[in-house]
Amino acid sequence: MISSLTAGGVTTFLRPTGLSGLQTIAAGMMPRLRSFSSTSVANSGVPKNMNLGWVGIVLFQLIIWYHCIMKFFIASPWKNKTQVEQLTDELEKLGHSAYSYVESGANLLTGKPIEDEMKEFTQALVNWKVDDRIAKIAESEVQAIKDADVVILLLPAGDSSHMEAGVGYGLGKRMVLIGPVEKPEVIYLLFNHVYLDISSFLREFSFVAE
């Protein structure tokens, strides 16, 4: 979500993923900028011949900057905790956001540290049909996949992580597979990008929403 200051107050735009994000911001901002330059500026006492070229420059830079910020969903099992932490940290250092159980998904059950949280999660799974805590986690993860620009499946991964990746594919998300493929799966052909490890992903991936 992004907010812009206009003559009439603050206008908020919800950013769709992909190219439509640029179109939404530009389409919403330009009429207001034209109105700002022709009416509001005059009414506020600013000289009519004032050069407002800087407004367009700032808007252009804002669009480019905002369009390069991406939301990632990392699907991976608990046994990959160290790798998930590394990938989450690296993405956030680059200015992106990453949903993963080591940070965004933590504290959903008890508010305790993630290690204790996973113990609670394992116990709660016994009554998964009726335990509201499991439903809360499921809702949180599905919403995070919906909000994501990119869904990453970090191998090795089990059935649950593959299902999360499948949800991402079904929603039309940009799909990334990271890790050595020990057990080939037909669905891996559906991924847009495949990388041997986290380092090659960070080095070669184009961090621009498609």
Q: What does the pLDDT average to over 64-90?
A: 85
**Whether this model's pTM surpasses 0.85:** no
Q: What's the pLDDT score for residue 135?
A: 78
The answer, yes or no, to whether residue 91 has pLDDT greater than 90, is yes
Q: What's the pLDDT score for residue 161?
A: 94
Q: How confident is the model at residue 53 (pLDDT cuts 50, 70, 90)?
A: low
- Sign of the alpha-carbon torsion through 107, 89, 61, 203: negative
- Give 117's contacts (C-beta < 8 A, 6+ positions apart): 106, 107, 108, 109, 110
Mean pLDDT of the chain: 73
Please state the domain extents for the chain.
2-67, 71-204
How far is residue 133's CA from residue 109's CA, in Å, rounded to a whole number?
6
CA angle 125, 107, 209 (to 5 degrees): 100
Contact 191/175 with Cβ under 8 angstroms? yes
Looking at the chain, how many residues does it have? 210
Q: What's the pLDDT score for residue 129?
A: 73
How far is residue 104's CA from residue 160's CA, in Å, rounded to a whole number?
17
Q: Which of 44-58, 77-91, 94-108, 143-157 has the highest mean pLDDT?
A: 143-157
CA angle 11, 61, 12 (to 5 degrees): 10
How far is residue 137's CA from residue 99's CA, in Å, rounded to a whole number?
12
The answer, yes or no, to whether residue 115 has pLDDT greater than 80, is no
For the segment(s) 71-204, the CATH number from 3.30.430.20, 3.40.50.720, 1.10.3720.10, 3.40.50.450 is 3.40.50.450
- DSSP-based three-state secondary structure for 17: coil
What is the identity of the amino acid at 66?
Answer: Y
How far is residue 4's CA from residue 81's CA, in Å, rounded to a whole number?
38
* DSSP track, 108-143: SSSSS-HHHHHHHHHHHGGGTTT-HHHHHHHHHHHH
Q: What's the pLDDT score for residue 155?
A: 97
The answer, yes or no, to whether residue 184 has pLDDT greater than 50, is yes
Instruction: Pick the more confident residue, 175 or 36.
Output: 175
Q: How confident is the model at residue 31 (pLDDT cuts 50, 70, 90)?
A: low
For the stretch 123-160, pLDDT in tens is 777 777 767 777 788 888 999 999 999 999 999 999 98
Q: How confident is the model at residue 109 (pLDDT cuts 50, 70, 90)?
A: low
In the sheet that 174-178 helps form, which strands lie side by side, from edge to edge? 97-99, 71-75, 150-154, 174-178, 193-195
Q: What are the beta bridge partners of residue 195?
A: 178
